[in-house]
Amino acid sequence: MPTQPSQTPGRGPNSPRRVKTPPGAGLDPELQAKIGRQLQELYRTMLEEPVPERFLRLLAELERKQENKG
Amino acid sequence: MIVTPELQQALLASIPALRASAVSLCGQPDQADDLVQQALVKAWDHMETFEPGTNMAAWLYTIMRNEFYTEFRKRRREVQDADGKYSGGMSAGPSQDHHMQVRDVQSALLRLRADQREALLLVGAWGMSYEEAAEVCRCAVGTMKSRVNRARGRLAELLTAPAPAPASQEQRVDAPLGQSG
């Protein structure tokens, strides 16, 4: 097998470098804070979504069954 | 046991948190609501195991989690489309016009390992302590801490890595094959 250094075309010195981050250690606090905020925003958005009709129907149906039993 | 109107209200109020968590559990947004439905039915039938005064949503989450790992995955495998692919969007709902950054986090989350995604969900979104989250996931507290740390690290990595080039023209398929001995 030839062991030439693999040449990646189109990668200049200014191309973004992939930073290998050891898990949980030495993370950029600013980046972490930013990701944290975005996570919170994502969850908040999801929590604000109205409850779909199917679940209202489901609960009504379960209640109806319960009343028929009792 | 009778599911009182108060309990029904609490069930209803927990649905948004359950839906968000179901996406995290499944890793496949289009199946999340089926899982939520399954969990709600189970919870209704086992309401006597709910301790009044405790967190209904957290109780529901443990039921949903159990459903997912025992029944849901099994059934999903049976009914899954032949191609097995899933839509990238979290939901086709009102959150579609959200700006790119949140969508990036969203898709990065779906690329995390399931246990790490869950750790981040419970600690980061639900606001559980490491101890509570460890109890829900039946793992050691140290394991939970490490999952959260790894999830954060991986998320940072995914979000700062250069976007994968769409079908790069550099990809050559005409390279000589079979040179090795």
Residue spans per domain, chain B:
1-75, 98-162
Which pair of tokens denotes residue B5? Answer: 């109107």
- DSSP designation for B70: I
Q: Considering only the beta carbons, identify the residue of A35, A43, A63 that sits closest to B155.
A: A35
Higher pLDDT, B144 or A26: B144
Strands (DSSP E) found in chain B: none
**Amino acid, res. B37:** Q
A52-70 pLDDT per residue, tens:
999 999 999 999 999 988 6
Which pair of tokens denotes residue B83? Answer: 């191609």
pLDDT-derived band at A5 (thresholds 50, 70, 90) equals: very low
Question: From CA B61, how far away is CA B40, in angstroms rounded?
Answer: 10
Which fold, B98-162? Arc Repressor Mutant, subunit A (1.10.10)
Does B114 contact A at CB distance below 8 Å? no
Report the pLDDT value the prediction gives residue B38, as an integer from 0 to 100.
95
Classify the complex by whether its ipTM is higher than 0.90, answering yes or no.
no
The domain locations on chain A are: 29-69
Report the pLDDT value the prediction gives residue B79, as an integer from 0 to 100.
63
> Residue B158: in which H helix or E strand, if any?
helix B141-160
Which chain B positions have a beta carbon within 8 Å of A58's beta carbon?
37, 40-41
**Are residues B180 and A36, on separate chains, in Cβ contact within 8 Å?**
no
- pLDDT digit string (tens) for chain B, length 181 residues: 899 999 999 999 999 999 999 999 988 888 899 999 999 999 999 999 999 999 999 999 999 999 999 987 777 776 654 444 444 444 433 333 334 477 788 889 999 999 999 999 999 888 899 999 999 999 999 999 999 999 999 999 998 876 655 554 444 444 444 444 4
pTM over 0.80, yes/no: no
CATH code matching the domain that covers B1-75, chosen among 1.10.3720.10, 3.90.940.20, 1.10.1740.10, 2.40.50.140: 1.10.1740.10
Average pLDDT, chain A: 74
Does A24 contact B at CB distance below 8 Å? yes
Report the pLDDT value the prediction gives residue B160, as an integer from 0 to 100.
84
- The helix/strand/coil state of A5 is coil
Report the pLDDT value the prediction gives residue A34, as an integer from 0 to 100.
85
Does B16 contact A at CB distance below 8 Å? yes
Report the pLDDT value the prediction gives residue B165, as an integer from 0 to 100.
56
